[in-house]
Amino acid sequence: MREPSGFQLETELTGAHSENLGEDDDDDDLGEDEEDEDDEGAGEGDAEDGRPKKRGPKKRKMTPARAQRSKVRRQKANARERTRMHDLNSALDSLRKVVPCYSKTQKLSKIETLRLAKNYIWALSEILRSGKRPDLVSYVQTLCKGLSQPTTNLVAGCLQLNSRNFLTEPCQESGRYASSSFSVHSYPYPCARLASPHCQSGSNSLPLRTHGYCSAYDSLYGGSGSPEYNSPEYEGPLSPPVCINGNFSLKHQSPPSPEHEKGYHYSMHYSSGLAGSRQTPAHNLVFGSSGMRSGIHNENVLPYHDVHPHHERPPAYDELNAFFHN
DNA sequence: TAGGCCATCTGGTCCT
DNA sequence: AGGACCAGATGGCCTA
């Protein structure tokens, strides 16, 4: 048996896969077949020497024409692969926008985005399951589980956490959540949603801005933000607050109305394009007694289709719907 | 400079 | 047969 080597091995590998499959009928390389016959027939067709006849497509020499075709094919494959990866990155960007802590300037890495998304889903599921306002610390810890330190800091900064809260908290995940992890000041995070003019609507709107950053937890559960509205500091794409309504606010179904202004609870809009079956009116979303104290107007959040062009329904739609109707 | 992240190329495999 | 998907390799860029 001959040992394939170097260039020949490469051409055999690729050629075995594709060259011999579809392009042999191009007879622009005349004489090749005969060369191949000579080339391979002597080496592997010998039944006399006891060796089994080699199966599979014949190996063919790389002629200039074939090399050219191979090159073109490879270029096409590369272009497809690039497109595919770009699509994948676009999807990741969409995901970045719906997980807590979206920042144009400090993008989460791919892996961190996926981890944070997983944690976010988990945290929301826990809220649904328990039906109670989560503890801030455990909530953040859930969000930050498995995240790198910079990302943890970013999340903490996004939440505008009072780092003192964590000084007394036991560390989790082998010390990952030590107090030093929450050096909020070092990761100032401007909350995109705050730039939304909806943030300033209505007297019942929750003060969302604190020193230019978003305290999503505050916005969800009521906190101590000073109402500095409509700042142009950050005009990037909107990120949902780390709260239910941001993630599940889907689409404006009607322009803001006085009724909406009054309905200051955690409103949820669902507007699904799925079979047109779930044009659900806004549901007031109330989280426990403390949650009642404050809320975010439903227009505070990015229309769902802005980041979900296909109008996917949130996975927990039915559960949420049922829960918030109770 | 090492390490992390990323984009791209590439070959193999699977599916339609 | 061709495209999608995947994983490995490679090199560039950035940051601590």
A84 CB less than 7 Å from any atom of strand C:
yes
Distance from first CA to last CA of chain A, Å, rounded?
Answer: 76
Say how far A259 CA is from B14 C1', in Å. 56
Say how far A79 CA is from B8 C1', in Å. 10
A81 CB less than 7 Å from any atom of strand B:
yes
Which nucleotide is nearest to A22 if distance is taken from CA to C1'? C1
A22 CB less than 7 Å from any atom of strand C:
yes
At A280, list the tokens: 């659900």
Say how far A74 CA is from B8 C1', in Å. 13
Q: HEC states along chain A?
A: CCCCCHHHHHHHHHHHHHHHHHCCCCCCCCCHHHHHHHHHHHHHCCCCCCCCCCCCCCCCCCCHHHHHHHHHHHHHHHHHHHHHHHHHHHHHHHHHHHCCCCCCCCCCCHHHHHHHHHHHHHHHHHHHHHCCCCCHHHHHHHHHCCCCHHHHHHHHHHHCCCHHHHHCCCCCCCCCCCHHHHCHHHCCCECHHHHCHHHHCCCCCCCCEECCEECHHHHHHCCCCCCCCCCCCCCCCCCCCCCHHHHHCCCCCCCCCHHHHHCCCEEEEEECCCCCCCEEEEEEECCHHHHHHCCCCHHHCCCHHHHCCCCCCCCCHHHHHHHHHC
Backbone angles phi, psi at A210, to 5 degrees: -130, 110
Query: Position of tokens 């497509």?
Result: A57
Residue A138 pLDDT = 84
A79 CB less than 7 Å from any atom of strand C:
no
Per-residue tens of pLDDT for chain A, all 326 residues: 333 333 333 333 333 333 333 333 333 333 333 333 333 333 333 333 333 344 444 456 667 777 777 788 888 888 888 888 888 888 888 888 888 877 777 788 888 899 899 999 999 998 999 898 878 888 888 888 888 888 887 777 777 654 444 333 333 333 333 333 333 333 333 333 333 333 333 333 222 233 333 333 433 433 333 332 223 333 344 444 444 333 333 333 333 333 333 322 322 232 332 222 333 322 322 222 233 223 222 323 333 333 333 333 344 434 433 433 33
Nucleotides in chain B near protein beta carbons (<7 Å): 4-13
Residue A125 pLDDT = 92
Nucleotides in chain C near protein beta carbons (<7 Å): 1-7
Say how far A107 CA is from B6 C1', in Å. 13
Which nucleotide is nearest to A82 if distance is taken from CA to C1'? B8
**C-alpha distance from residue A1 to each of A4, A14, A18 (Å):** 9, 20, 23
Element containing residue A155 per DSSP (H, E): helix A149-159
Residue A160 pLDDT = 60
Say how far A92 CA is from C10 C1', in Å. 24
Residue A121 pLDDT = 92
A90 CB less than 7 Å from any atom of strand B:
no
Please give the radius of gyration of chain A, using alpha carbons only, rounded to the nearest integer.
Answer: 29
Which nucleotide is nearest to A108 if distance is taken from CA to C1'? B5
DSSP state of A268: E
- Report which residue type is found at A39: D
A86 CB less than 7 Å from any atom of strand C:
no
Q: Is the pTM of this model over 0.75?
A: no
